[in-house]
Structure 1
Amino acid sequence: MSVVVEQTTDQDFARLADPYRRELYAHCYRMLGSVHDAEDLVQETYLRAWKAYDGFEGRSSLRTWLHRIATTACLTALERRRRRPLPTGLGGPAADPSAELADGPEVPWLEPVPDSLVGADDPGSVVAARTGVRLALVAALQYLQPRQRAVLVLRDVLRLSAAEVADILETSVPAVNSLLQRARAQLSRNAPVEEEIVEPAEAKAILARYVAAFETYDVSAITAVFTEDAVFEMPPFRTWVQGAAHIAELISVHCPASAAGDMVLVPVEANGQAGFGLYMRDGEGVHRAFGLKVLDLAPGGVRHTAMFFDTSLFRRFGLPEHL
C-alpha cells in the first residue's frame, strides 16, 4: 500500500510541478546568466521540491513555493560565483580594430539561452517571457546584488506581489520594496538602450542581408548591414568595437575566412532575439562549429552582435558540430 501511495504522490507532484519548469529555468538563467548553471539549479530545485512535497501545506501557491526553492538555490550558488559580464561591461571599445585581441579566459562570461528553453507554455505569455531574457537585460541584471536581482526579477519580470516575494525571501514587505527601489535605481544606470521597433518585413530583409554579407565574405556589404554606431563583441575576448567601419576592419583582419563560401550561418532564436550558428570551413573543406551570434536589430540594420566562441553552446541550440 505504501508503494502505491508514494507512486501517486510522485505522479501528483510531476503533474502539478512540471508546467513551471521552463519558467523556473528562465528565472535561474536571469539570476545566474548561464545556461549550464540554470540547468543544474532547476534540477536541484525539483529534487528539493520532490523531497519536501509531502510537507507542502498549500499556504502559498505551488508556483510561489517552487520559486522560493529556486531562488534560495540561486542565492546560495551566487555566494560562490562572480557576476557574468559581457565585454562591453568591462571597459571601452578598442581604438584599433586591427590590434591583437585581448583574451579573457578567467572571466565567467554571460551565456546566451535558446528561446525553446525559456518560452512560456501560455502563448499569450511568450512575448513577455522572451523580453525578460534579452541579452542586454540579463547583462544589466548582473550588476545587481543577488538579493536585489532576485527581488527585481520576481517583482518586475514575474509580476509576483510584494507579499509573495517577501514570503519567498523570508523577509518583510517594506524590505522587499526597499530592495526593489535600490535595484531599479541601479538597473537604470546599466539599463539596455531602449529598443526601437523593427517591423517583421524589415527584420527579415536585414537578416537576409546579414547572411548574404557574411556568407559571400563581402566586407563592403558587412559594413553596410550594421548601423553607424553598432557594437560587436566576442566573448571570451575582452576586445569589442563600435562603429560599422571598425566592425568590418575587425572582421577583415581577425576572421579566418578569406573567400565566399568559407562561412555558413544557420538561424537560431536566442534570448528572444535573432541569432545564427556560424560554421567556418576548415582546411579539409568541412564547415565546423565556430561561434554563436545573437543579434539586436534597429531600423536600417544590425545594432549589436554578440559572438560567443563557446562551441559547447551549439548542442544546447540543437545545432550539429559540423555541416
Structure 2
Amino acid sequence: MGADARLQEPGMIGLGEVGEPAFSGLAERHRRELHVHCYRMLGSFEDAEDTVQETFLRAWRRRETFEGRSTFRAWLYRIATNACLDLLAKRRPEPAAGGEVPWLQPYPDRLLDEPPAGGADEPETAAVARETIELAYLVAVQHLAPRPRAVLILRDVLGWPARDVAELLGDSVNSVNSALQRARAGMRERLPAERQDWTGGEDDAGTRELVRRFTDASVAADIGGLAALLRDDVRCSMPPTPGVRVGRGAVVDDWVEDGFARMTGLRAVPTRVNRQPAVAFYLWRERAGAYLPLTIDVLRVTGGAIAEIVIFHADRFARLGLPERLPADGTK
C-alpha cells in the first residue's frame, strides 16, 4: 500500500512521503470544519480564513512530525487551535469586554450547509451545530480568555477527551478540567437565561411570520410597528461600531435619532446567517440607478418576539453571497 493510500485510513502514517497535491487534497476535506472551528475561536470570518491557510501551511511544513498516534483530522485541529492562540496573542491580547465584540462577523448558512466530506455521520457535523454557532454564543465565547476558550470549544463543542486537550495545550488534565469549569461558568453569565427556549434558529411558521412583519415594517420605516415586535429587554448592536442598546425604549430612541423614521427607498432580501433569520436591506441610489447594499439585520427570536438584533455593514454582503445590487423593479 502506498503512502497516499495509507493516509486515507484512520491510523494513517507516512506523511513525509506524500507529495504536496495529495497532501492538499487530504487537508482540503477538512477546510470547512476547521474554518468554523477557527471562527468560533476568533469571532471573525476573515481571521478564520487566514488562520486556516496558516494551518495548512504549518501542517505541510511539519508533515514529517505526524506519527499516526491520532487521526489526520485531530492533528489538523491541534495545529489550527495553536494557530488561533498565536493570532490572539498578537492581535487581541485581551478578550472582549462589556458585552461587545467589535471584530464580530457573520457566517453564512449556505457554507454551514455544505455536506461533510465524509458524510452525515462524520464527526465534523458537530462542528456546525446551531446552538454553538449562533451569534450570542460567539459573543459569549469571545469574552473568555484564549486558553479557556480553546478548552471549552474542544471539550464541549468537539467532544475531545480532557487528556487530548491537555496534550494539545501542554497542560495537565486537572488544569484543563479547572479551565473548563471556569469557562462554563463564564458562558452561563454571558448567555441569555432563556437560551433553551430560543426559536431564532428554527425555521418555524411563527418565526417566519415575525421576520416578515419585521421586514415589512423596516421597509415602511414604521417605528411603531417595529417597536411592537421587540421584547422589553431587546439588545441591539452594530459591530464594529461601539455601543450596545438594551431595552425597547433605548433601541427605538436610537432609531429615531438616526433618522430611520424618515428613510425611504428600502428593499429587503431574506437570508440566514449563523443559523438565525436575517434580512439584508438595500437603499435606492439615484446615481447608480439601483438599490445598493445597506445593512444586514440578524435576529434572535424568543417567545414570539425579537430578543436581539445584530446589524452588520454593507461590506459583509459579498461574503454572504448576497446580490451586489437590486434593479429598480426590486427583482434580484
What range is the shorter-chain TM-score in? Answer: 0.7 to 0.9
Give the counterpart of 1:247 among 234, 248, 251: 251
Conserved 8 A contact 1:30-1:133? yes
Partner of 1:97: none
Partner of 2:36: 26
Partner of 2:137: 137
Distance between the aligned counterparts of 2:156 and 2:316, measured in 1?
Answer: 28
Secondary structure at the residue paired with 1:277? strand
Give the counterpart of 2:90 among 80, 86, 106: 80
Distance between the aligned counterparts of 1:149 and 1:175, measured in 2?
Answer: 13
1:116 and 2:110 correspond: yes
Conserved 8 A contact 1:84-1:139? no
Secondary structure at the residue paired with 2:48? helix
Secondary structure at the residue paired with 1:278? strand
1:85 Cα deviation from its structure 2 partner: 4.4
Structure 2, unaligned stretches of length 5 or more? 1-14, 327-332
Partner of 1:202: 206
Distance between the aligned counterparts of 2:248 and 2:68, measured in 1?
Answer: 56
Partner of 1:224: 228
Residues 88-126 of structure 1 deviation map (CA, whole Å, 9 limit, x = unaligned): 615xxxxxxxxxxxxxxxx84322222233456254637
Q: How does 1:17-166 map to 2 (within 5 A)?
A: 17-82=27-92, 85=96, 89=99, 108-119=102-113, 121=116, 122-123=119-120, 125=125, 129-166=129-166
1:321 and 2:324 correspond: yes
Partner of 2:238: 234
Which residue identity is paired with 1:210? F
Distance between the aligned counterparts of 2:127 and 2:141, measured in 1?
Answer: 19
Say which is worse superposed, 31-40 or 300-309, in terms of deviation. 300-309
Which residue identity is paired with 1:314? F
1:192 and 2:192 correspond: yes
1:84 Cα deviation from its structure 2 partner: 6.8
Partner of 1:290: 294
Partner of 2:11: none
1:259 Cα deviation from its structure 2 partner: 5.2
Distance between the aligned counterparts of 1:265 and 1:84, measured in 2?
Answer: 35
Higher relative contact order (CA 8 A, sep 6+): 1
Partner of 1:95: none
1:241 Cα deviation from its structure 2 partner: 2.4
Which residue identity is paired with 1:111? Q
1:11 Cα deviation from its structure 2 partner: 4.4
Residues 156-181 of structure 1 deviation map (CA, whole Å, 9 limit, x = unaligned): 01111112212222332222112212
Distance between the aligned counterparts of 1:320 and 1:7, measured in 2?
Answer: 45
Which residue identity is paired with 1:61? T
Aligned residues: 300
C-alpha spacing 1:222/1:123, structure 2 compared with 1 (3 Å): farther
1:256 Cα deviation from its structure 2 partner: 5.1
C-alpha spacing 1:47/1:7, structure 2 compared with 1 (3 Å): same
1:42 Cα deviation from its structure 2 partner: 0.4
Secondary structure at the residue paired with 2:29? helix
Conserved 8 A contact 2:132-2:157? yes
Conserved 8 A contact 1:229-1:242? yes
1:130 Cα deviation from its structure 2 partner: 2.8
Conserved 8 A contact 1:84-1:108? no
Residues 270-320 of structure 1 deviation map (CA, whole Å, 9 limit, x = unaligned): 1121112221223445322112221101122211101122x2211110123
Secondary structure at the residue paired with 1:155? helix
Say which is worse superposed, 281-290 or 266-275, in terms of deviation. 281-290
Secondary structure at the residue paired with 2:194? coil
Residues 169-199 of structure 1 deviation map (CA, whole Å, 9 limit, x = unaligned): 2332222112212222222222333322436
1:269 and 2:279 correspond: no
Conserved 8 A contact 1:115-1:130? no
Secondary structure at the residue paired with 2:245? strand
Structure 1, unaligned stretches of length 5 or more? 91-106
1:25 Cα deviation from its structure 2 partner: 0.6
1:168 and 2:162 correspond: no
1:281 and 2:284 correspond: yes
C-alpha spacing 1:166/1:206, structure 2 compared with 1 (3 Å): same
Identity value in percent: 39
C-alpha spacing 1:294/1:218, structure 2 compared with 1 (3 Å): same
Give the counterpart of 1:305 among 274, 297, 309: 309
Conserved 8 A contact 1:85-1:109? no
Partner of 1:101: none
Distance between the aligned counterparts of 1:123 and 1:263, measured in 2?
Answer: 40
1:255 Cα deviation from its structure 2 partner: 4.0
